[in-house]
């Protein structure tokens, strides 16, 4: 439960900051990362309810919360991926980027340091508990790290090399990965 609480705290703060920064500078990969962080927080909140129900001896509620969290994670992957594809295609068709923000780069770097540790810890606990929902939540966290990495590289390439298309291209790569994980998550939850 502590890992889920840490996820909520980190991802709420960083996710909201990333979304605001992304809106201001127009970064697709950064907004994808921010939305993913907020969704990760939501799934973690559902898992906290699952763990609390289990602690109170409400096994049936815990199972329902687990199933709900897994479905939310799966559909969140789909929603984020669709958004990224649509916006990336619009950006690439328009032929212009936004330039790299130093704050966005620092934000992405901080998450690139924190999220792999948090996601890995949640994945280990998910294996011990046999929790598919916690596994899906850990994948959201790991994709958050991937998004942070892609955002960081894209923003650096835009800032240093002027590659206006790098942000949209990075967002498309993440969208494909998210759709693959959505398929695995949603087929397991049926």
Summarize pLDDT for 174-189 with one digit per residue, the tens: 888 889 888 887 887 6
pLDDT at 189: 60
**65 and 52 in contact (C-beta within 8 Å)?**
no
How many C-beta atoms lie closer than 10 Å to residue 48's C-beta? 19
Under DSSP, the state recorded for 165 is T
Residue 93 has pLDDT above 80, yes or no: yes
The larger pLDDT score, comparing residue 40 to residue 100, is at: 40
Q: Tokens for 110?
A: 């901080």
Q: What is the mean pLDDT of the chain?
A: 84
Per-residue confidence at 144, pLDDT binned at 50, 70, 90?
confident
**164 and 96 in contact (C-beta within 8 Å)?**
yes
* pLDDT > 70 in the chain, percent: 96
Q: Of 41-45, 66-70, 118-122, which range is least confident? A: 66-70
Q: Rounded CA gap, 43 and 117, in Å?
A: 18
pLDDT at 190: 59
Q: Rounded CA gap, 36 and 38, in Å?
A: 5
pLDDT at 109: 93
pLDDT at 121: 93
pLDDT at 102: 85
pLDDT at 48: 80
**169 and 150 in contact (C-beta within 8 Å)?**
no
List Cβ<8 Å contacts ≥24 apart for 41-45.
41/7, 41/8, 41/11, 41/12, 41/15, 42/72, 42/76, 43/69, 43/72, 43/73, 43/76, 43/133, 43/136, 43/137, 43/140, 44/4, 44/5, 44/7, 44/8, 44/11, 44/137, 45/4, 45/8
User: Which pTM value belongs to this model?
Assistant: 0.76
pLDDT at 85: 93
- Give pLDDT tens digits for 13-45: 988 998 898 888 888 888 888 887 887 787 788
Q: Rounded CA gap, 184 and 85, in Å?
A: 19
Q: What is the sign, positive or negative, of the torsion defined by CA atoms of 17, 10, 184, 167?
A: positive
Q: Return the CATH superfamily for domain 2-189.
A: Cation efflux protein transmembrane domain (1.20.1510.10)
Residue 69 has pLDDT above 80, yes or no: no
Q: Of 9-18, 43-52, 112-121, which range is least confident? A: 43-52
């Amino acid at each position: 439960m502590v890992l889920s609480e840490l996820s909520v705290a980190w991802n709420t703060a960083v996710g909201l900051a990333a979304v605001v920064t992304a809106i201001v500078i127009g970064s697709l990969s950064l907004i994808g990362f921010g939305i993913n962080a907020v969704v990760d927080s939501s799934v973690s909140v559902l898992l906290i309810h699952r763990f609390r129900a289990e602690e109170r001896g409400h096994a049936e509620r815990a199972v329902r919360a687990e199933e709900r969290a897994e479905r939310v994670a799966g559909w969140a992957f789909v929603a984020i991926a669709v958004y990224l594809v649509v916006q990336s295609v619009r950006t690439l068709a328009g032929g212009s980027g936004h330039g790299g923000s130093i704050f966005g780069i620092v934000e992405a770097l901080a998450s690139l340091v924190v999220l792999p540790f948090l996601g890995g810890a949640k994945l280990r606990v998910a294996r011990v508990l046999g929790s598919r929902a916690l596994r899906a939540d850990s994948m959201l966290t790991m994709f958050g790290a991937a998004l942070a990495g892609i955002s960081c590289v894209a923003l650096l390439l835009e800032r240093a090399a002027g590659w206006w298309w790098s942000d949209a291209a990075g967002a498309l790569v993440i969208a494909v990965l998210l759709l693959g994980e959505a398929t695995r998550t949603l087929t397991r939850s049926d």
